Structure 1
Amino acid sequence: MINDKVLGIILGGGQGSRLYPLTKDRSKPAVPIAGKYRLVDIPISNCINANIKRMYVLTQFNSASLNKHIKNTYHFSFFSDAFVDVLAAEQTMQSDKWFQGTADAVRQSMHHFLQNDFEYALILSGDQLYNMDFQDMIEKHKKSNAEITIATYPVNAKDATSFGLLKTNNESIVTSFIEKPAADLLPDWTSQVSEDMKKEDRNYLASMGIYIFNRDLLITLMNNPNTIDFGKEIIPQSIKKHKTLSYQYEGYWTDIGNIDSFFEANLGLTDDLPKFNLYDKNKVYTRARILPTSKISNTILNKTIIAEGCIISAEKIEKSVIGIRSRIGKETIVTNTYMMGNDMYESLEDIKLIGIENQLGIGDRCFINNCIIDKNCRIGDDTRINGGLHLKDTETNTYLVKDGIVVIKKGAVLPKGTVI
C-alpha cells in the first residue's frame, strides 16, 4: 500500500566538502555506511517503512554513483506508482543556475513534483542517521491542521548554539525561531520537553531539517525567488503567518556533517546496544547483492560488524566495521576502523598479473588503528597506520589525516611497509 497523499523530497546536499575525501568522487548521500549501505538508504528506508513510496532525490555534485545505486536498488512493481528518482541540477528556461540552497533546489525542481498528485510534501535531508516514524509525524500534522510541521530534537545548551532553535507553546505550535543563537541568549529559548529530556538537560528544540508542507502553501512559498534556504529564510518568515507544528523526536539522530561524526556514527554500530539499531523491525533497505557468506580463519573478533563476501585471516579485529568483499591478511590487527570494502573480486589470474602484494584489501602483518579505508584500496604487507591526536592534519595523494582520523582515499595503493 502506498501513501498516495505524500511526496518524499530528499535533499542531497551541496559539495560535501567537510566529508572530503569521501566526497571527492561521489555525492554525500552516496557515501557508504555500515559496511553495506549508502547514506541515502536511511531517508528512503524511513519513507518506505511509512508506505511513502514516491520519492525524489535532489543532487548536483558527483551524482553518477548515487544515480547508479538508486537505479540498481529501488525497484517497485510494474503495476505500482512507486518510484525513487534522482533529480540533478539542470538548466531550464526559468533558471540557468545550480541550486543555491535547500529551498532553491526545491523551487527549481517544482515542475517535476507537480506532475504528481499529492497533498503533503515531506522534505528530508540526505545525510542524517536516524529511524523516524514519518506516518506518526504526518498524522499529527493533519490532526493539528498545521500548514507546516518541523521535526525537532531536544538538545543541551552546549549543542544548542550549533542549530536553529524553535520556541513552542503548550500545544507544540512554533511561536519563534532563531538561527544558531549566541550562548547568552539561550535562557530565553527553552521549550516544553519530556521529563526524560529534562533529566538530561536537553531543554532546547533544534530543527532537524525535516519538514512537512501542505502542497498549496509550498507552491506559494516557492514563488518567491529571493528565498533560497528553508532554515535561514522560509521557516523564520513563515511561522508568524502559517500554523507551524513542532514534532518532537527523542530517538537517535545524528547529522553526518564531517569526518569525525561519520567515523563515530559507524563505529557506534559495534556497541552492544547501538544507538542506531539496524536489528529492528523497521528495515534499512539497500542494494541486494548476490554475495557469498564471509569466510574467517584464525581471527579473534570483538565488537565487530562484518558484511557479506569477506575473506579474513587477520589475527584480531576489534571495534571495527568491515565492508563487503573485504580481504584482510594473516597476522594483521585492525582496531577502531571502518573499512568500506571493495566493488569487485580479483581473479587468481588478476592477482598473478599485479602481484600478490598489490591485491585489493589489507595485506599480512599490518597494524591499522583509528582509520577509515575507502573502497578498493590496496594496503601492502607490514603497513602500520596508527591514527590519533598525535598526528597533525595533513593530506597526501593517498591519505588524509583529520582530527586524528586517518582516511585512506578511494583506490589508494600503500606500498609494503608504509608507516603513517
Structure 2
Amino acid sequence: MAKLRGNAVVAQSGGPTAVINASACGVIQEALKHEEIENVYGAQNGIVGILNGDLFDVRKENPAVVEGLKYTPGAALGSVRYKVKTREDYERIFEALKKHNIRYFFYNGGNDSMDTADKVNKLAVEKGYEMRCIGVPKTVDNDLPFTDHCPGYASAAKYLATTVAESWIDQRDLPSTKILIVEAMGRHAGWLAAAGALAKRADDDGPHLVYLPEVVFDTNQFVKDVQNIYKAVDRVLIVVSEGIHTADGTLLGESGARDAFGHAQLGGCAQVLKDILDKEVGAKSRYIIPASAQRAAAHVASLTDINEAWLVGKKAVEYAVEGISGVMVTLEREPGNGYRITTGKANLSEVANVEKKVPLEWINAEGNNVTADFINYARPLLEGEPPLRYEGGIPVFSRLAKHFIVK
C-alpha cells in the first residue's frame, strides 16, 4: 500500500485529565518519526482551533518540553467544550482540514469527541478525501466502552482515594467531626466515586459508605445506613457520586443549568446530604468537593496511567500510518495472573455517545458500597509515581511555545 503523504493534526477536547498531555506527547513523538507525515500541527482549543485555523507547528517545539508533557496536567494544546451540531458545521471542519492538507486527524477526548471524530471520518469518506481519523481516549469518568479502562481515570482515582485516606485520618483524630461526605465527579457512571473505596485498609477505616449513580438513591435508607455506622464506630465517612439520583430520576446535585452539550450541570449533592443528616442524625458533619482538582493532580498521578496514556497516543499514529481509520485506540487487559495491557481498537461509530457504567455485580446488595471485584479491577491501575522535577518545592510543568502557522 502506498504511503499517504500529508500533514497531521492533534487536538484535545473536553475536561482535561492529569495524563491527557501524555497522549498528546505519544502522538507527537510518534508522528515525527514518519516521513509521510510532512508537518505535525497542534490545534488550539480542539475543534474550534481547526475551524478557526489556529494551528501551531509542533516541529518547532523543544523536544524536552514535549517529553515533559507526560507529567503535565491540564490540556497543553488547549481544550474546548464545543458541540458540533449541524452538517454545515462538519462541512466547515472538513474544508478546514482539507485546506491545510490534513491527512491524519487525532482527536483526544471522551464520548462526544469520539462522535465528532466519527462524523469527520464519515464525511471524508463521503467526499472521497483520503484521511485517517483516530480517536485517542480520555476521561476521568472511565465511561468509554470497549476499553478496559480509560487514560485519565487511574490518576483521578488515585487522587480521590488519597484524599479519602488523608481525610479519614483527619476525621478520625478530631473528636468534633463525626460525619464527612466526599463528593466525586461522575454524572451517570460511578467509577470515580467507587475509587474512594481503595482508601480502606482496616475494617473500621473510611470510607464506610459509597453511593454510585448506577443504583437508585433512597434517602430514607441512606439515613439508616449512616445511623448504623455512626452507632458502631462513632464516625462516618461517605463517598458519593455527583450523579446520584432518586427513583424518579431526580439528581440530588442538579443546579438547573446546562453545559454546551445539553448535560445537566452537577455539583452540590454533598450539601443536600449534609442538610439531611444534620436534621436526621444531629451529629456534626462536613463535606468536601474536590471538583476539578480530581483531574489536575499530576503530583499524585499514576505512572501506570501516564505510560498507558502515552501508549494510546503512540498507537494512534501507528494505526493511522498502517492505513487504519475510523477507530478509537483501546486498552485490553490480558487474562491470567498479574497486570498486563495490550492495545486494540474499536469502531468510532460504536463508541460514540455510549457510556460504560460500573457493573451492577460490582456494587453490593445494599447499594451502599463496592465489592472486591471492583477493588481487584481498579487497584493495579494506580501503581507507580511520576518522576517529577521540582523547583522551590513545586513541580515544574511543560508549556508549549506554540508557533502558529499563517492562516
TM-score when normalising by structure 2: 0.30
* TM-score w.r.t. length of structure 1: 0.29
Which structure's residues are more often helix, by fraction?
2
The structure with the greater share of residues assigned to strand is 1
Which has the bigger relative contact order, CA under 8 A and spacing at least 6? 2
